[in-house]
A and B are shown apart, each in its own frame.
Chain A
Amino acid sequence: MAYTPGLKVKREIVLQKTRRLPIPGEVLVSKGDKVGFETIVARTKVPGDVETIRASQILGIEADDVEELGQYLLKKVGDRVGKGEIVAKRISFFGLSKAFVESPVEGTIEHVSDITGQVTIREDPVPVEVKAYIPGRIVDVIQKEGVVVETTASFIQGIFGIGGETHGQVRMAVKSPEDSLTADMLDSSDKGKILIGGAMVTGDTLKKAVDIGVKGIVSGGVEDKDLRDLLGYEIGVAITGQEESTVTLIITEGFGKMRMSGKTFELLKSCEGIEAALNGATQIRAGVIRPEIIVPRGKTSAGESRDDRAVFSKGMQPGMMVRVIAEPFFGAIGTILSLPVELQDVESESAVRILEVQLEDGRKAVVPRANVEIIEL
């Protein structure tokens, strides 16, 4: 193991977001257009669900005679049908035996199988819209698929989140990154806002935030049990963003009481009063996605822009700033002193590649390389 790229905490960068439809559709804006949080940039219709009916079975057609189904159909492929409408009927024995096939849904006949004797009905398409999510300018249009929105913004990645895209005005709800965000710090004026906590947000606070209609909470940490209480279930694999919770929660450090990193806290403080976009969606496996806070700065000048790949491809070097991400120095920040090549034993007796680090509080520590993340300067 060698190193983990740190999470991004950028005061000002030019940020591009691709906003794409799940399937091709119509793009509603043009290159150069200005868009806001709620601007609908593209829309489409996703094909409806399908329902199949065992028509030949209902009509009493023998398995070997399935191809006869066609002669009993009242509708053909492409015809619209209403819920309960008769699609096929079979009258035999001079009218003594009648069998009818009703459509269970409203939709269109998509397929009639002369092999299985089934009729497939597709429900009406479901409209899907994609919003700009961040205010900015359209810099590219992907034909029939979506757009690229560009803005200059402060950009902060969290380590884990729940809840989808939202936006609201930033309010610092605590005074310092060590503080916990407690229920008494919230009132009805926080409706629609994004609240910034410190080291921890309590379970009561989360409940109250939902009741008030708070849009988002950003905190250093949260107790796992409080998260479970909020969701009503246990998260198994870390793929989130689709939760039904009305409040989007982003934690920046980890689970438990975790002082928010000073840099993150100060940057958020400078955003107080500004409308920010928030997305809790997290995916920790193939195609890592981290939750994000985007605070548009309303400028058009180019901000920081750097090829992260070039930075991290170099790997760790003495002199680099790192943050420890596991016990016993969890959260401590320091400078790499050396990177010995040989494996070394740590307290758990694991033989690992380590680094020596000069921590900010003056201590020197030996830490497995896997247990630090590089901090971008």
Chain B
Amino acid sequence: MKRGNEYRFVASGEAPTTVEAPYEDVTLGVRNAVREVEELTGHTLLSDDGIVLPSKGNVGTDLYVTTSSAGGGLQMMVTGVIKTMTAESAERAALGAGAIVMDVISVDDGRRTFQKIDRIRHLRPDMILFSGGTDGGTVRHVLGIAELISTAEPKARLGAGYELPIVYAGNKDARQQINKILGKKFALKVVDNIRPVLSQENPEPAREAVHELFMEHVMSHAPGYNRLMKWTSVPIMPTPAGEGRMFRTLAEMRGVNVIGVGLGGATTNVYSVYDGKFVRTVSANLGMSYSICNVLKEAGIQNIMRWLPFEMDEVAVRNRLRNKMIRPTIIPQLIDALVVEHAVAREALRLGFAHHKSLARGLRGVQRQRTVSDLFEQSLEEETYIDMIRISMIAGTGGLLSHAPRRAQTALMLIDAFQPEGVTKLAQDSVFMMPHLGVLSTVHAPAALEIFEKDCLVRIGTCIAPRGPMEAQGSLAAVHLSMPDGGSRDDEITQGELKLISLGEGEFAEAVIAPRSGLDVGAGLGHELKTKIEGGVVGIVLDGRGRPLVPPDDPMRRRKDLIRWFRAVDAYPQGALERYEKALS
């Protein structure tokens, strides 16, 4: 809403989805949520026909945009010729378009042909992104995959009565034959090659086609969406695509490397913008409600329990997570329940980031000149290009992070899971509106950016964490801060400890950080770093717990450490921490 000369966020409303029986009409849920906004603002937005557009006096609005993750989001299967080349490019493109990638089929994926056909038949994706071959490269292998798809005849997930959309973004020389093989059975759309040459990725045409087909074929088959599509001013966008767009904008605005994360109920989306490269990954079964027990399965119960500051029977933890799984919309009413959820969140974020790093790596298959030192570093080629010390900001969104009762909880979850190194700003989405601002930015960029800066992005603070071996006790780095009030402060980053220095939102301090020899805070081993530090609602967190951060194996020592760390940043109510401490003695 425009207030004076500013675009500002005014109110939010939430309601559970009504895509499912007995309602089977998404617009009912939309009405419920909008009704909450009406209640909170006293402004009428709804009529019997839907949202009132455009506004007249105290009724209606000028713009209505929406994102959707209904039906578990856009579920895609992707193909390519070589697993680590065109197939990987296709996977990145599909993920970038906001999809969940159900499987990646390639000529060299280690499965036998009948196994691939069987897999394609049973997956029932919403869409297939078909890439393969560079322009002028292999045609035969590309056509082989087309024949696989043709033989398998996969059916679309929603509604058996329509043709499955396929986006072909492979070798242009194969287009005519691809059309012959797939054109009659599927809704085929041909776009420019995703990997025209090995040294270049061209994901945009495929991404656009995916969005177009998502609207045309997938969304229109979900209950009530035909009506919802008439209400909206611009096409409905998959939620992660909206989210990704805002993280990109954030990195571009500030000209820095950013990691973003959307921790949802069913999935965890991780975004990185690193040296201008944008990568999004989605871990389809890592989430805080529907998928909470898959986090348990993937991480293991011990990895979840290592973040609990109190003793809790493994059986009780398991039952608690299962009860969340079967009733995914419940909210932790008690502090202990909240702490358990935060323990799971750390693991979901950790696993989601590990998955992200496996795709955030250089284009493979590209020939390059090697020096002698490259030969020694050859193994690193497989690893991610993300160097945590070069990440300037980590930002989180999604229900659990946005709704965390204390921002210090979000700060600590992000630090423990992503383990930032050097100097890293932390931020979060205030009330889970990044995806919607992402759509808004496509039609009204100034409004989207203004609201993003003023109402959406909460500056949590800055984490300073030295990198390097931490065997020795004591001081790891000396920190000198010239504070905004003109005073100065000297502090130390201590081995094994967390410390919090108050520096408010919108405030800056000039810092000189001098690490001990062998440690790095961003200027090189043992080198002093001079930088400007941004404050936030939490402040400056000095993290001397080491990288990688692993809580001690001994349960008593671990719980003591956790309580001390939680207390240092005032993450949970003092009463609860005292209760946990008493239980230890």
Contacts and interface: CB of A to CB of B under 8 A. Distances in A.
A1 B144 contact: no
Contacts of A159: 326-327
Nearest to B35: A315
A347 B325 contact: no
6 contacts: A1-B15, A52-B114, A66-B140, A286-B71, A287-B71, A315-B32
A61 to B, nearest CB: 12
Contacts, number: 179
B331 A371 contact: yes
Given A115-B177, A116-B143, A312-B22, A236 B294 contact: yes
A106 interface: no
Nearest to A373: B327
B297 A236 contact: yes
A352 B71 CA distance: 26
B337 interface: yes
Nearest to A365: B333
Contact of B293 (A51, A120, A237, A341): A237
B332 to A, nearest CB: 5
Interface in B259-308: 266, 285, 290-291, 293-294, 296-298
B403 to A, nearest CB: 7
Contacts of B39: 341
Nearest to A4: B329
A2 B15 contact: yes
B16 A1 contact: yes
A308 interface: yes
B162 interface: no
A328 interface: yes
A160 B325 CA distance: 10
Contacts of B314: 225
Given A1-B329, A234-B293, 6 more contacts: A3-B16, A52-B113, A120-B151, A234-B296, A286-B19, A348-B334
A236 B333 CA distance: 25
Interface in A123-161: 159-160
B361 interface: no
B326 A284 contact: yes
Contacts of A66: 140
B573 interface: yes
Given A224-B318, A328-B333, A328-B334, A2 B32 contact: yes
Contacts of A5: 22
B151 A224 contact: no
Interface of B: 14-16, 19-23, 28, 32, 39-40, 70-72, 113-114, 117-118, 140, 143-144, 147, 151, 177, 266, 285, 290-291, 293-294, 296-298, 314-316, 318-323, 325-335, 337-338, 403, 405-406, 573
B330 A326 contact: yes
Interface in A3-41: 3-5
Contacts of B71: 286-287
A327 B318 contact: no
A66 B143 CA distance: 13
B500 to A, nearest CB: 18
B143 A347 contact: no
Given A236-B297, A370-B330, A51 B23 contact: no
A338 to B, nearest CB: 15
A254 B147 contact: no
B20 A327 contact: no
Given A4-B327, A237-B285, A110 B151 contact: yes
Contact of A349 (B318, B320, B335): B335
A56 B365 CA distance: 28
Interface in A307-324: 307-309, 312-313, 315
Given A2-B32, A237-B294, A348-B332, A225 B318 contact: yes
A254 B324 CA distance: 9
